[in-house]
Amino acid sequence: MGRSKPTIQDYLTMRQLDLAQEAEKCHSQHDRLWYNKLISELYWVEMQIKGREQFNSDCPLDQLEKAQ
């Protein structure tokens, strides 16, 4: 019995959380901003898949902080 593959939405959420953790470890503000940009782009993709009506914020970083 094998593991089931995560859904695209699960993968996007996982990657956003991973990137947020990596951003916290950055010593450079420039690197931290780059990670935040990547998180925002993945959030946009997630919005396009699920539909905007399911999202209540334009800022994915606020939601990621609440999820942790």
Separation in Å, CA 31 to CA 23, 35, 53, 65 = 7, 6, 31, 18
Q: Can you give the pLDDT at residue 24?
A: 93
Q: Does residue 41 surpass a pLDDT of 80?
A: yes
Q: Which residue has the higher pLDDT, 66 or 34?
A: 34
Average pLDDT, the chain: 82
Q: Model confidence over 16-31: pLDDT tens digits?
A: 999 999 999 999 999 9
Average pLDDT over residues 19-46: 93
Quick: pLDDT tens for 52-65: 666 655 555 665 55
